[in-house]
Structure 1
């Protein structure tokens, strides 16, 4: 069943572009367009929508304020001529941020990201255990679980350390990310660390050595990991 989409933009030519592009994706269905934000907001409060394409700079109310006002938020893709709004857009967990004029190639990347994230959120957990979706540097990222070596807590943020790529920083707690990870593959060993079990090379004197040669401590609360890791 296709994702139900609406578009809100005070410029009719911009709506025409969205209408044309959406028509090229069978997984998307554009059910309505609005050239004023107030009517669009009222529709959203009365109808279930999966994905919203919305301009930011509109005369009645900004797209940012409209999204903030929604009690139930669909997936959001912001469209705007002003790059300066990107930070605020991703604070609202937008799927993507399209800068006008929007090319079909750039729209396609955003659409596939929304479709993929929708599938990720709506499949049973056992079917989604090969990837993790997070927000970092004003964009949504998909990280393969096989690429994660360990995850480090930095107060309100976590740093995801990857095997063959630079670490990724995102606003989340260790507890929050652990709930998204398969328990058989990721274990907490310290108040500040989660490790990928298959990346543990050795354990000695309550220290884990990972495949990258990084050493991490095992705290008193998580010493059960040592015995579990040693099991054949």
Structure 2
């Protein structure tokens, strides 16, 4: 199955470049391109589109405003010559953010993310097991293998995902929301500030969970889990 793609950019040369890049990926099909943002938005509203390449600086409406106005937005890869819109792309949960002139290798990395995320969403929709989590960090989507998560820590509006063999990932998301994305049989909230992978708990004692690298507190609200784990 191919991803149906649309590109919107007021620069004809930019559209031609994206069309040529898309042809290099058999998993993609460019179904339409638009130099006019309004016409592009109308098309997306009437047709199934999987992936949108969207310029940000356009004369009639910005790509940011267009994306915000879509009722059922497809996956979006923003394309722009300016770096200062990266945070807006982050807020809209864009797959990636490509700076012009777009290098084909960098384009390929963005497509890999889109294909991975499409596969992930289909697995979730089909209730299939998936061993990955996708979050937005540093203005782009990041794939995290569940087996690499040591624990997850709340930082008010943000969370820190502590990984065993990699750097900590910071993302704008409440702890409750990330818990909903995780398999309920593999991850457990033990405190208002912490989620742990159940399979990595080494021991529990004095209302504390011992993992390989840290000990974390168990709050009163989650003491029943501790009792079940200890078989009491």
Question: Scaled by the length of structure 2, what TM-score is found?
Answer: 0.95
Q: CA deviation at 1:181?
A: 0.9
Partner of 1:53: 53
Q: CA deviation at 1:229?
A: 2.4
CA distance in 2, matches of 1:126, 1:41: 32
Aligned-partner SS, 1:42 = helix
Partner of 1:115: 115
Residue deviations 1:40-66 (CA, integer Å, cap 9, x gap):
111112112111001111111111111
Q: CA deviation at 1:192?
A: 1.4
- 1:27-176 mapped onto 2 (5 Å cutoff): 27-123=27-123, 124-128=126-130, 130-176=131-177
Partner of 2:6: 6
Q: CA deviation at 1:76?
A: 0.4
Q: CA deviation at 1:198?
A: 2.0
> What 5-or-longer segments of structure 1 have no aligned partner?
none
CA distance in 2, matches of 1:230, 1:165: 30
Q: Does 1:216 align with 2:212?
A: no
CA distance in 2, matches of 1:147, 1:229: 22
Runs (4+) of structure 1 exceeding 4 A deviation are: none
CA distance in 1, matches of 2:26, 2:166: 34
CA distance in 1, matches of 2:187, 2:67: 35
> What 5-or-longer segments of structure 2 have no aligned partner?
none
**Total equivalences in the alignment:** 229
Is the contact made by 2:6 and 2:32 (CA closer than 8 Å) also made in structure 1? yes
Provide the aligned C-alpha RMSD in A. 1.2
Aligned-partner SS, 1:107 = helix
CA distance in 2, matches of 1:125, 1:66: 32
Residue deviations 1:110-169 (CA, integer Å, cap 9, x gap):
0110011011011134331x1100001111100111110111112222111111222211
Q: CA deviation at 1:189?
A: 0.9
Question: Scaled by the length of structure 1, what TM-score is found?
Answer: 0.95
Partner of 1:198: 199
